[in-house]
Amino acid sequence: MAWSHGRLIKIPLIFIKIAAKLGDCLKIGPINSTAYNMLLQPNIADKKDFIDFTSIIPRNLQQGFATEPLTVQSIWHARLYFLKPILKIVLGLFWIMIGIISSIFVYDASMQIIISLGFDKQIAPYILYGSCFTDIILRILLIIKNKINRICSLQILLILAYTLLLTYLKPILWLDPLGPIFKNIPVILLTLVFMAIERDK
């Protein structure tokens, strides 16, 4: 893969155990309690018994990679593997923070936008808190759930609904320098990319 040789880093067992517990909760990688317990078991044996039983001569990693070159799929998988959990957390935290900021820190500005769309002042708070609560809940589910294609699909539908509604009621928002509508395009594309690489099988 044209990468330099990796470095061996020794990690205290307590940190690996904590990471395994986090892996159980977040389900964003191969580190979990099952893998942790397997690593604690003996995993080295005399190769002579293996050769006598199977008539197969084991090869080291260098020999194996030399005889079976990496495919394009393997290279893509290796390069995207560690981006997958990062993308999952970033997408989740992005919308969670938007929901918190919109409903608390810029409440007045958010209310002005909703009222400017033609909604009554009496129902504007319900619209604001309802949309923010929906954003936060869905993104929490995105982070903690394992099977998330349905959640991502629902998120995309909601983003499209927001985008179409705002475009119809106030198309000038497309020109807003903070990009309240325009940001939805890269977010949808990133969500589609995440859906494509989310499953390992």
- pLDDT band of residue 1 (cuts 50, 70, 90) is low
Buried b (16+ CB within 10 A) or exposed e, 103-130: beeeeeebbebbeeeebeeeebeebbee
What are the boundaries of each domain within the chain?
Answer: 13-69, 83-197
- pLDDT band of residue 3 (cuts 50, 70, 90) is low
Amino acid occupying residue 170: K
Q: For the chain, what percent of residues have pLDDT higher than 90?
A: 20
Between these two residues, 81 and 163, which has the higher pLDDT value? 163
Residue 185, pLDDT above cutoff 90: yes
What pTM did the predictor assign? 0.71
Using only C-alpha atoms, the chain has a radius of gyration, in whole angstroms, of: 24
Tally of CB atoms within 10 A around 68: 10
Give the span between the Cα atoms of 14 and 36, in whole angstroms: 11
Give the span between the Cα atoms of 132 and 186, in whole angstroms: 20
pLDDT value at position 102? Answer: 87
Residue 44, pLDDT above cutoff 80: no
pLDDT value at position 9? Answer: 86
- The 10s digit of each residue's pLDDT in 107-149 is 888 898 889 888 898 999 999 999 999 989 988 888 877 668 8
